């Protein structure tokens, strides 16, 4: 008896609630020719309430410099479309199953609401929604804009208060938009399962087609999925696929019942298999053709305050903003780098080669490539971090840069007025005379009289800025660093853009010039690009233009500053160009146009480098073992199918750089370096070579260096 009374009470309450709803809402008559207004609505205070509609999370598209799509970023996989881009059968299916009188009723389908209230009363909760498409759109907006779990729970709360709140919002939505606009918004916001938000994403994810090309069976499937997308998510398993198939058939029956399709069409569609293609969700750097470049762009946006003061803001900007980001990547140059690396280093090799190409004068990163594929499969030796970049851009600790750092000591000497042929005599070993012989930038004495720097081949003699550089003589450069000052050398390196890959401060020891700091190819390439741009240093850049979802465009210009006297850069380029003809790269050769560069090898071949530049393009190549370069040195190794007793800068990095440049600059007119100001840098100043009494007295006395004159690196580029 109590149970029956309770049921009666619930039905009475439902009727009363239905009466409240009916009394509170203006209902257009069928056909929209009239309306019933109940004065009680004013007393009850139920009026339209403006709904805040934040922009939907849209995927961001990454483009290369030529406008080709190369990657996508998204928080929710969604591609918004206009209503005319949705197949008519899809519109019919969703309206048939969700709100068949959508174009006839007002803000609320009162019949459906009363039916739902009565059903809920007998069940003791919210068992049936009875919501119109407009109400469902409102619910999705509230859910999508919820900033916390509590707010999301409130948006789904099973209460009449929440329902009446939705009704107020729905009334405002119906006043603000046409029915077609509401349907379009609903189709773009609805979640269909399998990670697909919106009908376009769902059509592609489920069936590999656009929403405009959906068939009857496919449309019915998607229309059936929105009721409970998690329970019918075909990506989860067979049970969910079975539920989705059953739900599809319910939609087809409903469409036939409403005479939107014939019974025969319904039967034919029901006879078809589910047809779930499980098309991979596009996007993410792992899916990109250029994963390392993609990672650089992603981390640039997420870490740079220019794209938002807070990390959360930057993340939303990238992953929800619906942006189109034009980048600096040149597909031709990227292919050149990839092919050159593959020619010399296999993906299966333990050491990994990586390369970055940077445009002098802009800092634009034109290519980023590595010998290994990006991924998490250790068996396939895939890499899960950006080996081409620094830690800020998804990279690791990098590799010691070796003798590529001698360039910064050379530039410092030229800044201080030394001449191209000015020099001094060096021995096969060098030991700091005093602790005070080297001072770091804090003014502390850091000379090490107990440590001897040696040349791999021994020997010594009189070295000039030119011959010492061409033959990369360790003892010459440490002694040169002592003369020009360690701190000044460090300042030069920083002016050219040098910073450690791991983000820590540069280590400041007497062996700085030998490249003991860990670097990444982007940083080193950009430093050498500064010389190619005659001393104009530019911040590495990957983004040139961003177009937002509304078509508003923001262009990004190079961030450059003149950090070096152009004539000093010219003199350095002149000396470094001799590396190809008279120095450690002579065995490899040049690229048929003005070019300059420097090989680099670290202590006992822990890693090897080549960094070089033309006025049009700069590049840096490194090779090392990511398992730990100091414990897995490049001695007695097989790389690219070839055995190397020892790997030097001219063994693998140099040839990779050369092959890359030949292909990357093919068709680009050669640009000459600006000639050296001989009045300023010509001659030998106060450091001329001693005269000889032998017939070859004009020959520099050079008997050895750390990187052999024949084109093979042969020694210590660092420790």
Mean pLDDT of successive 10-residue segments in the chain (719 residues)? Answer: 35 38 39 34 64 90 96 90 97 96 78 55 44 91 79 71 84 94 96 94 96 98 95 93 97 97 97 94 86 96 94 91 96 98 97 98 98 89 93 94 97 97 95 96 96 79 96 96 98 98 96 96 98 98 96 96 98 98 95 97 91 98 93 94 95 98 97 97 92 48 39 34
Question: How far is it, in rounded angstroms, from Cα 24 to Cα 317?
Answer: 41
Contact 526, 493 (CB under 8 A): no
- Give the SS3 label for residue 60: strand
Question: Contacts for 273-277 with beta carbons within 8 Å, 24 or more apart?
Answer: 274/221, 274/234, 274/241, 274/244, 274/245, 274/248, 275/206, 275/207, 275/217, 275/218, 275/221, 276/206, 276/207, 276/234, 276/241, 276/244, 277/206, 277/207, 277/208
pLDDT at residue number 651: 96
CATH number 3.30.429.10 given to 2-54+76-270 = no
Rounded CA-CA distance 516/512 in Å is 6
**Location of each CATH 1.10.3810.10 domain in the chain:** 2-54+76-270
Residue 455: per-residue pLDDT:
87
- What pTM value is reported for the model? 0.81
Looking at residue 460, its pLDDT comes to 81
Closest CA to 584 of 715, 427, 462: 715
pLDDT at 715: 33
Contact yes or no for 600/403 (Cβ under 8 A):
yes
Determine how many CB atoms are found less than 10 A away from the CB of residue 268: 14
On whether the CB atoms of residues 318 and 301 are closer than 8 A, the answer is yes
Separation CA 190–CA 686 (nearest Å): 79
Closest CA to 89 of 206, 184, 223, 263: 223
Distances (CA, A) of 140 to 90, 185, 191, 203, 639: 19, 10, 9, 19, 56
Per DSSP, 29 falls in state P
Burial 309-343 (b: 16+ CB within 10 A, else e): eeeeebbebbbbbbbbbbbbbbbbbbebbbebbee
Q: Which two tokens stand for residue 527?
A: 């430093």
Gap between the Cα atoms of 246 and 243, Å rounded: 5
The tally of CA atoms less than 13 A away on the side-chain side of residue 410 is 32
Cα 604 from chain centre: 35
The reported pLDDT for the residue numbered 332 is 98
CATH 3.40.710.10 for domain 330-541+562-719, yes or no, is: yes
Segments of the chain assigned to CATH 3.40.710.10: 330-541+562-719
Instruction: Give the per-residue pLDDT at 118.
Output: 57
């Amino acid at each position: 008896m109590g149970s029956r009374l309770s049921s009666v009470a619930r039905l009475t309450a439902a009727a009363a609630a239905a009466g409240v709803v009916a009394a509170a809402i203006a209902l257009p008559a069928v056909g929209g020719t009239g309306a019933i207004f109940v004065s009680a609505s004013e007393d009850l205070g139920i009026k339209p309430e403006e709904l805040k509609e934040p922009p939907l999370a849209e995927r961001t598209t990454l483009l290369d410099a030529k406008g080709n799509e190369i990657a996508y970023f998204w928080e929710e996989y969604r591609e918004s479309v206009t209503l005319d881009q949705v197949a008519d059968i899809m519109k019919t299916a969703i309206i048939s199953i969700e709100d068949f009188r959508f174009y006839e009723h007002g803000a609320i389908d009162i019949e459906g609401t009363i039916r739902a209230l009565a059903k809920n009363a007998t069940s003791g909760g919210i068992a049936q929604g009875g919501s119109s498409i407009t109400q469902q759109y409102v619910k999705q907006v509230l859910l999508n804009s919820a900033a916390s779990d509590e707010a999301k729970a409130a948006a789904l709360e099973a209460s009449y208060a929440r329902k009446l709140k939705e009704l107020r919002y729905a009334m405002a939505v119906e006043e603000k938009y046409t029915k077609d606009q509401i349907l379009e918004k609903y189709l773009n916001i609805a979640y269909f399962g399998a990670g697909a938000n919106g009908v376009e994403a769902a059509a592609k994810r489920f069936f590999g087609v656009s929403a405009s090309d959906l068939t009857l069976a496919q449309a019915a499937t998607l229309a059936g999925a929105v009721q409970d997308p998690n329970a019918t998510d075909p990506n989860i398993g067979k049970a969910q696929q079975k539920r989705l198939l059953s739900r599809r058939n319910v939609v087809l029956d409903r469409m036939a019942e409403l005479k939107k399709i014939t019974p025969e069409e319904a039967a034919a569609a029901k006879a078809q298999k589910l047809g779930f293609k499980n098309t991979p969700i596009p996007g993410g750097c792992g899916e990109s053709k250029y994963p390392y470049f993609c990672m650089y762009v992603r981390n640039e946006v997420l870490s740079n305050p220019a794209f938002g003061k807070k990390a959360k803001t930057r993340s939303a900007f990238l992953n929800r903003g619906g942006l189109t980001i034009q980048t600096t990547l040149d597909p031709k140059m990227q292919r050149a780098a990839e092919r050159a690396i593959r020619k010399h280093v296999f993906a299966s090799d333990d050491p990994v080669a990586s390369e970055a190409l940077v445009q002098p004068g802009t800092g634009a990163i034109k290519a980023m490539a590595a010998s290994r594929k990006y991924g998490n499969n250790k068996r396939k030796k895939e890499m899960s971090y950006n080996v081409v970049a620094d830690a800020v851009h998804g990279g690791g600790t990098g590799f010691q840069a070796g003798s590529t750092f001698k360039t910064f000591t050379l530039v410092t000497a030229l800044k201080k007025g030394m001449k191209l042929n000015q020099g001094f005599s060096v021995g096969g070993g060098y030991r700091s005379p005093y602790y005070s012989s080297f001072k770091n930038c804090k003014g502390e004495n850091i000379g090490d009289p107990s440590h001897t720097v040696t040349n791999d081949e021994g020997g010594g003699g009189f070295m000039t800025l030119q011959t010492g550089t061409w033959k990369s003589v360790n003892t010459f450069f440490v002694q040169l660093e002592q003369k020009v000052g360690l701190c000044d050398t460090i300042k030069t390196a920083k002016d050219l853009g040098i910073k450690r890959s791991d983000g820590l401060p540069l280590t400041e020891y007497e062996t700085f010039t030998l490249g003991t700091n860990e670097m990444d190819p982007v940083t080193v390439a950009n430093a050498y690009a500064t010389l190619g741009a005659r001393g104009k240093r530019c911040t590495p850049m990957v983004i040139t233009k961003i177009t937002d979802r509304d078509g508003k465009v923001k262009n990004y210009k190079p961030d450059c500053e003149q950090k070096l006297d152009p004539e000093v850069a010219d003199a350095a380029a002149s000396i470094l160009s001799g590396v190809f003809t008279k120095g450690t790269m002579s065995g490899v050769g040049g690229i048929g146009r003005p070019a300059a560069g420097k090989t680099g090898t670290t202590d006992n071949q822990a890693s090897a480098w080549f960094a070089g530049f033309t006025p049009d393009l700069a590049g840096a190549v490194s090779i090392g073992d990511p398992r730990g370069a100091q414990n897995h040195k490049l001695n007695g190794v097989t790389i690219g199918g070839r055995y190397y007793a020892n790997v030097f800068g001219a063994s693998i990095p140099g040839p990779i750089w050369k092959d890359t440049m030949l292909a990357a600059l093919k068709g680009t007119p050669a640009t000459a370096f600006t000639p050296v100001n001989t009045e300023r840098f010509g001659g030998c100043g106060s450091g001329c070579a001693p005269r000889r009494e032998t017939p070859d007295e004009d020959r520099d006395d050079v008997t050895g260096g750390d990187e052999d004159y024949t084109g093979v690196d042969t020694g210590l580029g660092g420790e």
